[in-house]
Amino acid sequence: MLSNMSLLYVEDDPDIQEAISEILKKECGEFILASNGLEGLELFKEHRPDIILTDIRMPEMDGLEMSREILKIAPQTPIVISSAFNDNTYLLEAIDIGINEYLIKPFHLDKLFTKLDKIAQGIEIKNHLKETEYLLEQYKQAVDHTTIVSKTDLHGIITYVNEPFIKLSGYTQEELIGQPHTIMRHQDTPSEIFADMWATILNKKIWYGIIHNRAKDGTKNTLKSTITPIINHSGEIVEYLAIREDITELNHAKEVAERSAQLKGEFLANMSHEIRTPMNGILGFTELLSQAKLEHREQKYLDIINSSTHSLMGLINDILDYSKLESGKFELNYHPVDPFDEFEKMSQLFLLRMQEKDIAFNLKIDEQIPQTLEVDSLRVQQVVTNLIGNALKFTPEKGKIDFHVSLLHKSEKYANIRINVKDSGIGISAEQQRVIFKAFKQAQSSTSRKFGGTGLGLSISTNLVHLMGSDLKVKSEENKGSHFYFDLDLKISSQEALKEDQKNLHQNNEHLNFSGKILAADDNPVNRMLLEELLKPYDIELSLATNGKEALALCKETNFDLILMDIKMPVMDGITALEQLKTQNYTAPVVALTANAMEGDKNKFLNQGFDNYLAKPIILSKLLNILKTYLKNIKFSHSEDKLLANNYKENDYVDVALIMSKLSFKKSIVHKLLDMFLKTTTNTMDEIKESIELRDYEHLEASAHFLKGSAGNLRIDSIESLTREIELNSKSQNDVDYKAMYVKLDKVVNNVREEMKEILAKA
């Protein structure tokens, strides 16, 4: 301990001074030597040593006189006096001055150092306590200046409040001390909060929570509170310390933000309703019209209307999807799929547009990928179509787009795959890459003007990929193309599960015929007419009402099997009409029919008593699901089923009804696929022929694979099996008669093309 101390040694005897000084110099951090009391006093004033060791009898000023003067200056200074005279008079005088340490000469050095070490240790402790007290005082000042502090006794009586507490409360310190803390209680704080608080702190635990306090003028303050029981060495609670943070403004800001979010939701819901209502009519009737036989010019006009309408619906759905993702209420639906079939179908959607821009499109799916995986195919397709759509949008004519799906890793239960979309388009700078995944952002300010779009596609895709447990990434350089990719860890499923899923889908799509009476209440005449047209093929008795009041009147006359009830109607809205039906014990299921399609609307309507929910624009498949749920389905007999099938199956190779069933596409879309097949096969067959002549196995494999995928999607088994044979042989570079294979394939392709031309001519 002495090594950290400074010591003043005062001794007039030269021999003793020399002997002791040599020893003390080695032990002390700083050693100061004086020959008499007067010199010692001056050196003390100059150096302020930690400890003083002094003789008593000295010339000019003795040790006791010096000590008296020193203690006047620094009362806490430790002084050890020594003397050869064992005289109680000196000792009593030393005690009277305030000196407690005394040594008789000659003294043992061990005894001296024991005493000095003890004093040094005491100084260390005092210094540490002073430092601690100093720090604690700073902490206290910091807390007092930034937080609201109070203390109470065991009964909740206020014993201390700091200045911020006084300022917030509006009371004076005198008005608060001695009062129960309930003087500040606001009626908006539930009593359960205080019950929980007391239960916690009485159990010697710290309580955290939000408390509303009432100031003297009645002002409500919201406080984030921490209440701590102060416990003594015996383990007993002696008082309670409360530290609070005023979050009144923060709480107000939260309420404003929540209200703003609510208003935003209401605005989007209203906009959704207002836009979807006319869109419902446009989409519904264009779908019905597309099934009619039209002249080429009229069909072209209808296609333009259809394309524009679906583009507008895409913008609306982007906004609504973004709203759902932003709220964190987006759900995924995993089911078993064949990834080869699934990804090939996705790529087929773009073939016609690729051909129009003369873009080379390369699809490659790693054959090591398991045959069946559990995927949310709808959301994966949403991401993939966005990425391919962007690639197509930003790639100039005669460019190239690659869509590759590769296997990264496979375990017993899971397969990790990477989905890549790579293009030779305009590319993205490093600076622009930092913003393109954010909502409403595009690579350049001029992009939206030149290429169109909301700037939500990549943001939605990013969020969807994130929900699937991955990240959407990009590698790109300006004018050198872009490469978007993401990895998915997917559960490997069984072929049996896939077959069962496809069986259910097929059953859901069952050449349908219902028995029942339906009431549809909707104030929009276009919607009423659309419902009439949509339900015509199913032999349903349909009654129509323009508002809730008319609907109630019709319900008194007829026992309906199902009611489709619009929400927003004049005279009487759908919710009021439902309440009236409930009071009249009307038992028919009531489905909310509404253009509101915001997150949470379905649950809201179900909680209000509706049996189900159908959003506008009405999608026929969803309407049919409602009918399947609530009406009796009269299935066709086997002979009727066979007759219908024969009416469709007029050709040897192309089965339109089968394609419609398998792909869940309407006939007009199947016709477009057939037309696309006609336009692409000529070039593909030329590529196959040229590759055979050049023995270019790589290109032969790619061309055969491409044609195989097109034929497979259209369920043209003859072409699919022949191209599969060519593909497998060229992959292994087998020495077989490829020319004979081509001759056989060419004959079948020509026959198929002739059939397709006949089908399209009759359409």
Which residue in the block uniquely carries the two structure tokens 């799929």? 337
What whole-number distance in Å separates Cα of residue 241 and Cα of residue 227? 6
- How does pLDDT run across 211-246, given as a tens digit for each residue? 889 999 988 888 999 999 999 888 899 999 998 888
Which residue in the block uniquely carries the two structure tokens 């604690």? 136
Q: Are residues 488 and 349 in the same domain?
A: yes
- How does pLDDT run across 151-195, given as a tens digit for each residue? 999 999 999 998 889 988 999 999 999 999 888 888 888 888 989
pLDDT band, very low/low/confident/very high, at 276 (cuts 50, 70, 90):
low
10 Å Cβ neighbour count for 28?
A: 22
Residue 88's nearest CA partner among 72, 104, 110 is: 104
Burial class (CB in 10 A: 0-12, 13-18, 19+), 228: middle
Task: Report yes or no on 266 lying in a domain.
Answer: no
Lowest mean pLDDT among 43-57, 205-219, 414-428, 453-467: 453-467
What whole-number distance in Å separates Cα of residue 450 and Cα of residue 122? 83
Average pLDDT estimate for 503-523: 70
Lowest mean pLDDT among 34-38, 344-348, 423-427: 344-348
Residue 304 has pLDDT above 70, yes or no: no
Q: Are residues 501 and 554 in the same domain?
A: no
Q: Are residues 564 and 615 in the same domain?
A: yes
What whole-number distance in Å separates Cα of residue 576 and Cα of residue 277? 20
Q: Are residues 373 and 487 in the same domain?
A: yes
pLDDT band, very low/low/confident/very high, at 673 (cuts 50, 70, 90):
confident
Q: Considering 216, 246, 276, which residue would you say is the last residue of a domain?
A: 246
Give 369's contacts (C-beta < 8 A, 6+ positions apart). Answer: 339, 340, 405, 407, 415, 417
How far apart, in Å, are the Cα atoms of 696 and each of 687, 692, 693? 10, 7, 8
pLDDT score of 311: 56
The count of structural domains within the chain is: 5
- How does pLDDT run across 353-376, given as a tens digit for each residue? 787 788 888 888 898 999 899 998
Query: CATH number of the domain that 11 lies in?
Result: 3.40.50.2300
> Which residue range is the domain that position 37 belongs to?
2-138
Largest Cα span, the chain:
139
pLDDT score of 510: 47
How far apart, in Å, are the Cα atoms of 561 and each of 441, 588, 629, 630? 49, 5, 11, 7
Q: Are residues 697 and 567 in the same domain?
A: no
Mean confidence (pLDDT) of the chain: 81
pLDDT score of 379: 83
- How does pLDDT run across 564-618, given as a tens digit for each residue? 999 888 899 999 999 999 999 888 999 998 765 555 677 888 889 999 988 876 7
Q: Are residues 408 and 497 in the same domain?
A: yes
Which residue in the block uniquely carries the two structure tokens 């006359």? 557
What whole-number distance in Å separates Cα of residue 298 and Cα of residue 604? 43
pLDDT score of 450: 47
Continuous H helices in 509-573: 525-535, 548-557
Token digits of residue 206:
């710290």
Query: CATH number of the domain that 729 lies in?
Result: 1.20.120.160
Task: Report yes or no on 268 lying in a domain.
Answer: no
What whole-number distance in Å separates Cα of residue 81 and Cα of residue 63? 7
Average pLDDT estimate for 267-274: 62
Written as one string, the DSSP assignment of 70-116 is: HHHH-TT--EEEEES---HHHHHHHHHHT--EEEESS--HHHHHHHH
Q: Are residues 531 and 674 in the same domain?
A: no
Give 258's contacts (C-beta < 8 A, 6+ positions apart). Answer: none
Whether the Cβ atoms of residue 481 and residue 425 lie closer than 8 Å to each other: yes
What CA dihedral angle connects 447, 450, 453 and 457, to 10 degrees? -40
Average pLDDT estimate for 75-93: 78
pLDDT score of 647: 41
Residue 285 has pLDDT above 80, yes or no: no
- How does pLDDT run across 651-669, given as a tens digit for each residue? 678 888 877 766 556 677 7
Lowest mean pLDDT among 88-102, 358-372, 481-495: 88-102
Q: Are residues 352 and 494 in the same domain?
A: yes
How far apart, in Å, are the Cα atoms of 379 and each of 188, 205, 450, 462, 464? 45, 48, 27, 11, 7
pLDDT score of 1: 64
Whether the Cβ atoms of residue 397 and residue 436 lie closer than 8 Å to each other: no
Helix axes 525-535, 248-290, angle to 10 degrees: 50
Average pLDDT estimate for 700-705: 86
Q: Are residues 194 and 73 in the same domain?
A: no
Give 316-354 as a 3 state SS string.
Answer: HHHHHHHHHHHHCCCCCCCEEECHHHHHHHHHHCCHHHH
Highest mean pLDDT among 124-133, 314-323, 676-685: 676-685
Q: Considering 217, 246, 275, which residue would you say is the last residue of a domain?
A: 246
Q: What share of the chain is helix, strand, coil (3-state, %, to 5)?
A: 55, 20, 25
Residue 49 has pLDDT above 90, yes or no: yes
Percent of the chain with pLDDT over 70: 79
Task: Report yes or no on 725 lying in a domain.
Answer: yes
- How does pLDDT run across 111-126, given as a tens digit for each residue? 888 888 888 888 887 8
Question: Residue 697: what are its φ and ψ, rounded to 5°?
Answer: -65, -35
Question: Residue 518: what are its φ and ψ, rounded to 5°?
Answer: -120, 140
Give 260-303 as a 3 state SS string.
Answer: HHHHHHHHHHHHHHHHHHHHHHHHHHHHHHHCCCCCHHHHHHHH
Q: Are residues 158 and 38 in the same domain?
A: no
Q: Are residues 175 and 43 in the same domain?
A: no
Query: CATH number of the domain that 185 lies in?
Result: 3.30.450.20
Average pLDDT estimate for 709-725: 84
Q: Considering 460, 475, 506, which residue would you say is the last residue of a domain?
A: 506
Percent of the chain with pLDDT over 90: 30
pLDDT score of 274: 64
Token digits of residue 613:
């929910």
- Cα angle 158-160-163, degrees, rounded to a multiple of 5: 120
- How does pLDDT run across 535-569, given as a tens digit for each residue? 887 778 899 999 999 999 999 999 999 999 998 88
Average pLDDT estimate for 427-446: 69
Task: Report yes or no on 112 lying in a domain.
Answer: yes
Task: Report yes or no on 188 lying in a domain.
Answer: yes
Residue 638 has pLDDT above 50, yes or no: no
Q: Are residues 562 and 495 in the same domain?
A: no
Query: CATH number of the domain that 428 lies in?
Result: 3.30.565.10
10 Å Cβ neighbour count for 443?
A: 24
